């Protein structure tokens, strides 16, 4: 085999080639391969014969008894009684959902939960900001920190209750 291809065309490419579903460049490459490869040319011939046979075959017919049985299946069964949350519209007679009262209760509960989550978030942010160490010692122009008088020296570090290494 010579040319660009070192492998044969796969089945999907053969089917797309026979059905004319390849792009122009891919079709030209496949056609060049088929002309030089007798094995792929035979697969293309088999696929073309199968396609022609399927296109000429007649479609199966459905027995009339099966068609009648399928048509007799009801689309929807009538409700045996009143279902909870379902009512009948007095103007149209169509069933409607009447769960709007319950939805208002659910909506107010979600509002309360959301407000509570907001308050907890704000409190956690305030706590984190308040407990963050502040380093407000002056910095000189060369980046060094001057020695502060004893009155301004920080005290010994205190134990942090949130430190995982603290016992």
Tens of pLDDT, residue by residue over 114-146, are: 888 888 888 888 777 776 666 666 666 676 666
Q: Which of the listed residues 39, 54, 69 is the one where a domain comes to its end?
A: 54
Q: How confident is the model at residue 99 (pLDDT cuts 50, 70, 90)?
A: low
Mean pLDDT throughout 102-121?
Answer: 74
Residue 147 has pLDDT above 70, yes or no: no
pLDDT (0 to 100) of residue 37: 92
Residue 83 lies in a domain: no
Query: What is the extent of the structural domain holding 28?
Result: 11-54
pLDDT (0 to 100) of residue 1: 41
Beta bridge partners of 73: none
Q: Which pTM value belongs to this model?
A: 0.35
pLDDT (0 to 100) of residue 116: 83
pLDDT (0 to 100) of residue 65: 87
Q: Number of folded domains in the chain?
A: 2
At which residue do the structure tokens 């009801």 appear?
74
pLDDT (0 to 100) of residue 137: 61
Cα gap 106→113, rounded to integer Å: 11
Q: Are 44 and 18 in contact (CB under 8 A)?
A: yes
């Amino acid at each position: 085999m010579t040319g660009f291809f070192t492998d044969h065309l796969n089945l999907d490419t053969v089917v797309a080639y026979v059905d004319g579903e390849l792009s122009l460049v891919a079709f030209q490459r496949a056609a060049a391969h088929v002309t030089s490869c007798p094995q792929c040319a035979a697969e293309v011939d088999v696929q073309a014969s199968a396609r022609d046979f399927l296109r000429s075959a007649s479609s199966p017919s459905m027995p009339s008894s099966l068609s009648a049985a399928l048509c007799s299946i009801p689309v929807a069964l009538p409700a045996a009684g009143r279902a909870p949350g379902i009512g009948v519209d007095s103007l149209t007679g169509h069933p409607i959902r009447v769960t709007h009262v319950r939805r208002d209760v659910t909506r107010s509960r979600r509002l309360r939960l959301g407000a509570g989550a907001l308050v907890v978030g704000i409190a956690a942010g305030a706590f984190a900001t308040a407990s963050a160490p502040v380093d407000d010692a002056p910095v000189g122009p060369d980046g060094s920190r001057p020695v502060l008088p004893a009155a301004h020296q920080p005290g010994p570090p205190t134990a942090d209750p949130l430190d995982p290494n603290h016992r």
